[in-house]
A and B are shown apart, each in its own frame.
Chain A
Amino acid sequence: MGKTMAEKILAKAAGAKEASPGDLLDVFPHVAMSHENAGLVAKSFKEIGTGKLYDPDRIVIIFDHRVPAESEKTAEGHKTVREFVKKHGIKNFFDINTGICHQVLPEQGFCRPGEVLVGTDSHTTTHGAFGVFSTGIGATEMAAVWATGKLWLMVPETIKVVVKGKFAPGVYSKDLILHIIGKLRADGADYKSIEFFGPAIDEMTIASRMVLTNLSMEAGAKSAMIPPDQKTIDYVKSVTDKPFEVIKPDPDAHYCQTLEIDLGQLTPQIACPHMVDNVKPLAEVAGTQIHQALLGSCTNGRLEDLEEGARQLRGRRVHPEVRMLVIPASWKVYRQALDKGLIAAYIDAGAVVLNPGCGPCLGAHQGLLAPGERCISSTNRNFQGRMGSTQAEVYLASPAAVVASAVAGKITLPEVN
């Protein structure tokens, strides 16, 4: 019987001939990424007591969660990590001026097909868009990876998602994945991997594919992958000289579940408070008043998202009772958006353009909500208290819907003419 991508990639990284769901393997990840929590990882690493990193070149550290430091405590944390990086010769360190880890990793060539990537961040599933088995782990486990080079992983079952048809105007990959999460529910892919197939996936840009794999975490996925095609290979070769081996699933691979979706039926979707699987057609909640609109994040802060949002502005200003925040996913994206005049368009519209980072998405800083306030956001979580007050509400939608709503002052369908 054929094998899925997860089965093939994990077997290879464990040096095993083959692997099946339920097998426990000692896997050697090619990339081990941390952000600010590298401080916690370093603390645990010191406790282990080997004093020696298994391979410093596999370690990547990217500051993004609280940049620039919003408090003295964070500043101390940043300082500790910088000192650790220097002491141990970790060359893949990206300080506060690079961007959000899930955008920086591919930009810097760390997402190579056929490899295994672990990160101390749940949305590490993002990198499956490049055919990488990528999954989130905790800081203590990462310390063990730093020291021993390996971790145990259970080979997951895989859900096959096949997407056909074409997106209607005003409908995007964000709407597709919200729809899928609504169907699978928040725990529908817990302990499982997802593989995406179909002509609609083939046609998607790399950035749109990353939205699918990023948000697959919100269905509980351990990993979410898109079999690499020429588009993937061209992108990866443009950012790294390192060799890689594309691993695709066998045509007769076994899937525990198959989900078929026809884009022709799909309308703009929205995840309502306080769970990402509380998904409705956006039209059902249209007219709901908002106080903040957030465009950006590791989910939807890439150039095409900023372009799509700017198209919705059409020279109009953000509603006077709405605070609109724009957060490009990386400084590279920020620079490109500057060149294209997008940043000027947002500033002219009255939006606040913030530096790349995670900031308000996880309620760390830069635009939190007061009790009774409501935000429409292109980010990936709407849990109670996630963006400030536990009495506030967060709705998740596409960049186009976020900007259209910011202008209207209420939740609004993207304009399509």
Chain B
Amino acid sequence: MKFCGTVFKYGNDVNTDVIFPGRYLKVWEPAEMAKYAMEDIDKEFAKKVKKGDIIVAGKYFGCGSSREQAATCLKAAGVSVVIAESFARIFYRNAINLGLPIMVCPEIGQIAEAGHQLEVEPTTGEVKNLTTGKTAKAKVLPPFILEILGDGGLIPHLQKKMKKAS
């Protein structure tokens, strides 16, 4: 599970209202959700983002509402991993449950800028900026969370567990 992509960089306190605005909450299809991702903070994001790209952010990413569409829309838009200095707890859980890898890395803001190419290895926490050569260490996710992410989220994870049990 290694990620490599172009950085989209944002600041502190990016809330779920700007990640996925309330006016679209009636939308249930991930592909359609992707069109509105980050609309109220970065109108260009949905147009520019490519499969595998990486979001880098400051403190408390995903604060606010419990809407899991905030994680779904980023995953559907192609984001491979969100790396932030810290996360709001509900977004953190939602991302894991929907199979969107997230990593906490207090130094990330210092080593990555928008447009840089980043390489991330979640099992070791190694973050490498391929554009500048700088590196940083992210916190390694606990094994049970890596397992849920590896299965693609909580639903495939539960399906797998039930299959094993039967």
Contact = CB atoms under 8 A, between A and B. Distances in A.
Given A77-B28, A187-B60, A138 B86 contact: no
Interface string B58-79: 0110011111100100000000
Residues of B in contact with A, size category:
35 or more
Interface stretch (A40-48, A245-253, A317-325): A40-48
A220 B158 contact: no
Given A220-B60, A222-B89, A140 B28 contact: no
A96 interface: no
A105 to B, nearest CB: 15
A121 interface: yes
11 contacts: A37-B25, A40-B28, A66-B26, A136-B90, A138-B71, A138-B97, A144-B154, A362-B17, A364-B22, A385-B17, A386-B17
A71 B25 CA distance: 12
Interface of A: 36-37, 39-40, 43-44, 47-50, 65-66, 71, 73-74, 77, 119-122, 124, 136-141, 143-144, 147-148, 152, 186-187, 190-191, 220, 222, 275, 362-364, 381, 383-386, 390
A270 B117 CA distance: 42
B94 interface: yes
A363 B13 contact: no
Contact of A385 (B40, B144, B153, B155): B40
A49 B159 CA distance: 7
A224 to B, nearest CB: 13
Nearest to A121: B66
Contacts of A386: 17, 22
A190 B93 contact: no
A138 to B, nearest CB: 4
Contacts of B2: none
B18 interface: yes
Interface string B70-105: 010000000000000010111001100110000000
Contacts of B89: 190-191, 220, 222
Interface string B6-40: 00000001010110011101111000000000001
Contacts of B1: none
Contacts of B66: 119-122, 124, 136-138
Nearest to A153: B93
Given A138-B93, A190-B89, A383 B67 contact: no
A140 B98 contact: yes
B60 A186 contact: yes
A140 B18 contact: no
A36 B23 CA distance: 13
Given A140-B94, A187-B86, 9 more contacts: A43-B28, A121-B65, A121-B66, A138-B94, A141-B94, A187-B60, A190-B60, A222-B89, A362-B65
Contacts of A40: 28, 68
A74 B22 contact: no
Contacts of B154: 140-141, 144
Contacts of B88: 187, 190, 220
A220 B63 contact: yes
B158 A144 contact: yes
A364 B63 contact: no
A362 B60 contact: no
Given A275-B13, A383-B15, A48 B155 contact: yes
